[in-house]
Every structure is written in C-alpha cells, then in structure tokens.
Structure 1
Amino acid sequence: MSDTVTAPQLTSSDLANNQRAIAYFSEHGCNTVGTAFALARILHDDKCVAEASHVYRTAYDLHSEYPDQAPGPHVLLVLRLLCGMMAGQSPAEAELKTLRALSIPFYNYVTGIQAAWIQGDLIKAARIIKNCYEEFDTGSECDRLCLEVMNRLYHAKMENGIADSRISTAQIPRKIYMYRSREASAGVERNFEYHRNFTGLEIRIFNEEEAPEWLYSVCGVDARMLFFSARNASEASNIFRMHAIQQLGGWWLGTDSRIRSEDIFFSRLSQRHSHVFMLNDENGVHNEFFGSVAGSPVIEDALLSIYRNFYLHHDLAIAQKTGSGVLERALNRTFHADFERIRPMPSLITYGNATFHEVIEIASVRD
C-alpha cells in the first residue's frame, strides 16, 4: 500500500457498463482511497460484485496505512474478498494471511462465509464466524450474511421449537398494532379501516399524540425522549413499535402493509411459536411485519441496540439504526448464544420473502 499509485485506466467493461459507476469515474476518477471506495460501493450496491472486488483492491493499494485514514485497510480488504466470493472466486491465501494480520474478527468473517458458501459446511462456518458482526454497525452486510448462515443452520430446530401451549403468554397474542402519523393520507386511513373489519384479530392503532404519552406511562421518560429525538416519522414509528411489541405482545403491521386475508394469515404463519420473523431475499428482516410475545429476549436486544445507536451512532441510516438492522443483530445474537450454549434460543421461526408476499401486500396509501 502507498499514498499514491498510478490512476487506473478503467473502461466501461471494467465497470460492468454500469452507468452510475461510469458517470462517477468520469467526474471523480479513481486515484484516491475515497474515490476508489465510493466507486466500489456503487458497483457493490448495484450487484456488480466482480468489478467491485477489483476496485476495492485498488482502494486498498492506495491506502497510506495511517490509522486515521478511513476506511481502514482491513475494511477494504474484507470487502474485496467478500465481493470476490459473491462473484464465485475463492479468496487468495496471501490476502487472507494479510487480513488475519490486520483483524482477526474480519478474517473470521471472511473464512466463515467461505466455509458456508464454498465448502458448504454451515456448522464449521458458525464456529468460525462466532459473533464477528459485533465489529460492524447494526444492519450491516455482515449481519445479513451471518444471518443467512445461521438461519439455514437452525431451520429444523426453529420448526420444531414450538411454544408450550399450556402457557398462555408463550404464544403471540392475536392482536395487531399500527401507528398513525400526523401526515397519514386517505389511503392510510383506508388501510386502517380494512384491518378494523377483521374478526379474528384485534386491531389497535396508536396515533402520534398518544404514542409518546403511552411510552412515558409504560416505559418511562427515556423512551419518550427517544421518541421525540427521532429524525422523522419513520424513525419515530420504529422506536415506538419495538417498545409496544415488547410491552404488549402481538403483531406489528406497517401503515402501507396489508394482510391479504385472515385465512391466509392463520394458514401460512405459525400460531405456535413465540416469535415470527420474515426475511427478504437478501436475508434482511422485514420490520414492517413481525410477531412476538411480550417480554421477549429478542425484542429486548433490539431495543438495546436502538438506545445504543441513538447515543453512539446518531447519524446512522434509519433502517440500520432503529429499523430492520436492530432485529437482524438481535437474531444473530440469539442464534450465537444458543450455538455457543450461553443461553437457549426461545421459540422462534423465520419465513422467507415468498411467504411474506403471500401474506402481505403493499397497499396503495398515497392518496
């Protein structure tokens, strides 16, 4: 690595003919760590992973090795190796050796994913990965890739881990909670009315004025202060939903989400587990629709991440800071604690994106 290298002469083909990447390279070039990293992120985000891997390597080669230059060399190298594996390439031993010298948790992350993807050994992957996601912000790609491994490993155990039906509090209440902001459109109101007509599920809708007073009464002053500190209505809703589900137990439903029918809800989703979560195609958690009992250790962990993010990472993207990211981290910690025999996993089941769309449709709420 060095402070400067010859600026790479990248062609459109080198950039996967990606128009965003081509435009960025034409304007900014790729001769500093910052420009190379930004270019690689564009390619990475647009799923041009082979090309992203190459540009991440360029950013790594440009790095000065000074500790205050961000992102650090270990970050650039781990991204290069992960994108390479996504493109079907095996990590080079020399680069793995270099990564291990830079950061053992990052090395464990890459070699664990390698064990899962290339060797097909999920147990080995879980042993290697451990809790390396703790090195990253909640809701990072690391959370989703680790969750992919553990979700596959625990598939059978989750299906068999039904709650004790003799204990009423062990099963998710047949109650749905929603949140109405001041800016709720006529379409949102129609969605509320649609769900009020359900007969097998009780619906409760909290409005923006009621929510902070409920938080103050039930959860205390810190919860209300957190709610008032939200950057926008979406973040306020994220904060409120976790507190509400943790205290009341039930199902959370986003304002633009619509349960297709009660019959589908009851037939497609387990009514015998204490937690139900849906994962999208990238193994992120759908936080607009999930179910949990009250007093959940999973939701408690998600709340812990929300408070931590507010005090330490206030400018983090909302989805990572208070949304799906905190649930992804909570599930990873839940799986890890069970795998390492720190504490047993609660009754929990996950479903894939196909099931989510079988049960939920995105309602037209704009007008």
Structure 2
Amino acid sequence: MSGQKMRRPSVLSSIFFKLSAVTASVLPENEFTRLLDLARYQILDTGTEESFDRITRLAARLLNVPVAMLNLVDQHRVWGKAAHGLPRVTANRPDVFCAWAILDDQPLVVEDAQRDGRFQHSPIVVGEPHIRMYAGAPLTTPAGHRIGTLCILDAEPRQVQAGDVEALQDLAAMAMQELEFRRLTLELDRAAQAQSLQVTELRRTLEQARILEGVSSVMDLDLDPTEAVAAAAPLLAEAVGADATALLLWTEDRMDVQWLGDAPRHQTESLTAHVRALACPYQTARTPAFLDAGQRGNDPALAWLPLGTLQGQTCLLVLVRPTEPGLATWRPSEQALLSAASRTVAYALARQENLTRVQS
C-alpha cells in the first residue's frame, strides 16, 4: 500500500475488536445494558457476607456436591462473591462456565466437561480444580438481565436430576432476592444520609438567619459606629468559627488595624503583619473576598468584608479562622451569611453617617 497512510483504528473499534476476538461467542445480546444493571448492585470487589455464604452452603448440602459458588459476570472476568468448598475466585471470563450460563434463562448443565466441546480445553477443566460437572442457574434481575450465577461443581462427572436443577433455580432466586434487598438497603442508606445533610443544612440556614437578625438588631442600637461593629463582629465570628476579628481603617495612605474582642496579644501581633501584607487589594473592594487556608503557605482562612466608610475612613472587617481541620475552606452557606452581614452593616453605617451629616 505504498503512497497511502494506514488508518489507525479508533480506541472504540479496538475495544470491540478485542471483545469479538475473545468473547464474542459468549456475549449476551444486551451485554452493555446488562453491565449497567450489574453496576447498580455495587457488589463487585466487596467482602464476604453471611447471607450469600449461607446460600452456597445450603446449595452444596441440598444437592450433595463438594463445591457451590455465587459468581457475578463482569465485563472481562467472573468474580466470586461467595463460595463453599473452594476459595472465592476471580477468573478470566472466556475460561469459565458462568460466562455461558448467563446466555439463557434456563440453567446450564454440563455433566462431563471433558466430553463437551465448549469446555474440554478450558484451563479449569484440564488443570486445577479439574472440573468435570457444572450446573449453574442464572441470577436474573427484575429488569431481566442475567448478571451472574449460582452454580455447583464436582471433580467427577455425574448426572444432574431435574429435581436438582429446580432446587438450584430456587436457590438462585433466593440469592437474587438477597442482592435486591442489599441494593435497596444501600439506596435507603444513601437517601437517609442525603436527608440528614438536608436537615443539617436547614438548621444551619435557620441559625444563620438568627445571626443575621442579631447583627441587624445590634446595628440599630444607639451605639458609636465603631462600638456597633465591635458588637456585631463576635456574632459573625462565632457563626463561622473565627477566633479573631479586626477592623481595618484607611485614611489616605495610612492603615490602622484594630483587633476586636479578646484575641491573645501574641496572636494579634503575628497576625497584624500578615493582614497588612494582604490587605491592600481589598481596600477598594465592594464585595467580600474569601481566602481558604494554605493559599499562601501556612496562611489561615481569612474573610474580608467591606463596610463602606466610617467617619471618612474606608472600613473593612477581617475574620481569621484557626488552622484546624474543617475550617480550612469557606462553605457557600458561610460566604452567603458573611456577604449578607457585610451589606447589612455597611447599610447601617451609611445610614448613620447620613443622619449625622443631616443633623450637623
């Protein structure tokens, strides 16, 4: 083919080529919807569970066989959830009887694998565990997909009676009921967790509404503006887990940092230089800014709340969180509370300044 470039097969076509080359003869028609249904059960690669182990023990005892297994058929493997008589195994899908057993609604019965052309060269027939007899009933989901099997095995060939097949089908139906019960339990747990999170968020919202109402009430008191901000700051600090608050006041090129509340002196001294180094970009900010912890080395989480002007000085409230787990980032609900509080305080200060100007 000189003068022509060879076309590279797409990734998707390569996947289908491999599938067709290896397992096309044992793929159900609805293979990919079947795999999606299997995924809904979240069962693959999980630990042993007594409810499934019990079924394999019961199958071995009732049908008088040395080995019983409950296997799920994944895309490229057969994975064992429960087993009696042999350890749980993971095997290549083309090498295992179960890959054929899910092709039909009726159980697959192989009385002597060495005389069956489909399996006589299988590694588990010619090698360990030297399987001769296999009977497997499919695990069929309510959606009609066969996602695995309950199967019995023997190293000796043997006849499987019709009554044994019916018993195996009944046990497979029980196993499917257990799988369905497990799936529904997981879904209920997730729904309960989601509901718990919603309740927690609702409580947080109500608490924040009370905090905002408290801030508004404080700003309506007959207090000096600086005193009003100092009274409102602890409410916000407690709501968001801040352990230090500061009022930043700019007059022309000068900035004063006034720490509010009872923050330890050694803490405020170390934080003052830090706040001064970061404050300049926020001097003219009109909206709050939130810095998560660690954005600049070991910096704590900071919230910068613009409050407009206070007696002719640009005013900014800073909240500092301790460097503790759970306080490194600002949640959206916390940002919403502080943003609303910033607007509330700024409006109250502007109203008070206008009133003072009118009275003078």
Same fold (TM over 0.5): no
Which has the higher relative contact order, 1 or 2, with Cα contacts under 8 A spaced 6 or more apart? 1
Give 1 or 2: higher helix fraction. Answer: 1
TM, length-normalised to structure 1: 0.20
Structure with max Cα Rg: 2
Q: Select the structure that is richer in strand.
A: 2
